[in-house]
Amino acid sequence: MRILVLGGTVFLGRAVARRALAAGHDVTCAARGASGNPVDGVRFVRVDRTDPAGLAALTGEFDAVVDVARHPEQVRNAATALAGRVGHFTFVSTGSVYSDTATPGQRADTAPLLPPAPSDAEDPTRDAESYGACKVSCERIVTEAFGAGSVFVCRAGLIVGPEDPSGRFEYWVRRAARGGEVLAPGTPDEAVQLVDVRDLADWIVTAGEGKLTGTYDGTGAPTTRAAFLADVLPEGVEPTWVPQDFLAEQEVAPWSGARSVPLWLPVPEYAGFLSRDVSASLAAGLRTRPLAETVRDTAAWLAAAGPEAGQRIGLTETEEAEVLAAWHAR
């Protein structure tokens, strides 16, 4: 097949290109080349999607297209430029499109969405809500342009694994390697849900091959934080559970960023964010590998890529020790 990845210079886009090449497809990646490099073996076409004429260098027909964009304007420009030349279109969306983050067990086909972003929305990276609203708009633009009979909307959950630029999963891999007393956020039974980037890429490529259409969540089945940590931490290491109210008192942030505990989200307001019912996705072909494999390969990537890889976020060693000392002294 002739496959076009709109993106393909970072994390998921690179994984999709790599997986498509491994399956023997003819792969084109189109981006500015500003965020990173495409993988070896693809045809790289330099495009700037902010300009309606910026995709002119993309010629010919494509059996399958995969788009990771966040800006409705960029998606509209691509849809216009590729009109009539696309067999199947996968739009990589996000679980941030959902308006109800609190209710566990929601399904992609029935969960309520955020209102779409206004047509002049410019900065989807401003906050989670504008990001989600822009992705709602992007989903609609793609579906209107190519038709529901040709479009797979893949609402990715938390994507982890080698080459993740976010630092979130990496925090736990590095934390496990450091040893000592480990701070675990919240309670052991809270939900954690994620997908290995290679499993998501695999599903996206097979979806193009099999012309899967419809809207699905692109993430694995939920697990508990205790089970997550049991896979991440060395055998026998029991973390110290620190409740969310105490973390908030200590000005520890959830999810991401400085002085945060990555992948932790407060409940009940986010009890539904990492606990989606993905039985439809698994039935539609998503296959997920054991978490221990993702941990091992992420550690190997970090070791091979050196100190510049990923992004160091989360509590520093000193901050974690201070919070743990305060917890024990309470």
Ligand X SMILES: NC(=O)c1ccc[n+]([C@@H]2O[C@H](COP(=O)([O-])OP(=O)(O)OC[C@H]3O[C@@H](n4cnc5c(N)ncnc54)[C@H](OP(=O)(O)O)[C@@H]3O)[C@@H](O)[C@H]2O)c1
Using rule CB under 6 A, residue 10 touches ligand X:
yes
Q: Applying CB under 6 A, which of residues 33, 87, 188, 214 lies at the interface with ligand X?
A: 33
In terms of Cβ atoms closer than 10 Å to its own Cβ (0-12, 13-18, 19+), residue 16 is: buried
Q: Which is nearer to ligand X, 159 or 286 (by Cβ)? A: 159
User: Least CB distance from residue 126 to ligand X, whole Å?
Assistant: 14
Using rule CB under 6 A, residue 94 touches ligand X:
yes
Q: Applying CB under 6 A, which of residues 3, 4, 47, 182 lies at the interface with ligand X?
A: 47
Judged by CB under 6 A, which stretch of 20-28, 105-113, 156-164, 249-257 contacts ligand X?
A: 156-164
In terms of Cβ atoms closer than 10 Å to its own Cβ (0-12, 13-18, 19+), residue 187 is: middle
Q: Three-state SS for 173?
A: helix
Using rule CB under 6 A, residue 92 touches ligand X:
yes
Using rule CB under 6 A, residue 11 touches ligand X:
yes
Contact 132, 100 (CB under 8 A): no
Can you read off the two tokens belonging to residue 34?
A: 């500003």
Return d(Cα 215, Cα 230) in angstroms, integer. Answer: 32
Fill in the DSSP letter of residue 284. Answer: T
Could you tell me which of 187, 163, 285, 175 has the C-alpha nearest to residue 232? 175
Question: H or E segment at 76?
Answer: helix 72-82
Could you tell me which of 180, 134, 168 has the C-alpha nearest to residue 265? 168
User: Least CB distance from residue 33 to ligand X, whole Å?
Assistant: 5
User: Least CB distance from residue 102 to ligand X, whole Å?
Assistant: 19
Contact 9, 42 (CB under 8 A): no
Q: Which is nearer to ligand X, 35 or 240 (by Cβ)? A: 35
Judged by CB under 6 A, which stretch of 66-74, 102-110, 240-248, 297-305 contacts ligand X?
A: 66-74
DSSP conformation letters of 28-64: EEEE-S-S--PPTTSEEEE--TTSTTTTTT--S-EEE
Could you tell me which of 18, 83, 34, 36 has the C-alpha nearest to residue 55? 83
Using rule CB under 6 A, residue 129 touches ligand X:
no
Using rule CB under 6 A, residue 274 touches ligand X:
no
Q: Applying CB under 6 A, which of residues 99, 103, 166, 224 lies at the interface with ligand X?
A: 166
Q: Which is nearer to ligand X, 49 or 88 (by Cβ)? A: 49
User: Least CB distance from residue 57 to ligand X, whole Å?
Assistant: 11
Phi and psi at 44, nearest 5°, equal -100, 125
Using rule CB under 6 A, residue 70 touches ligand X:
yes
Using rule CB under 6 A, residue 58 touches ligand X:
no
Judged by CB under 6 A, which stretch of 9-17, 207-215, 259-267, 271-279 contacts ligand X?
A: 9-17
Using rule CB under 6 A, residue 273 touches ligand X:
no
Using rule CB under 6 A, residue 329 touches ligand X:
no
Residues near ligand X (CB under 6 A) are 7-13, 31-35, 47-50, 68-70, 74, 92, 94, 156, 158-159, 166
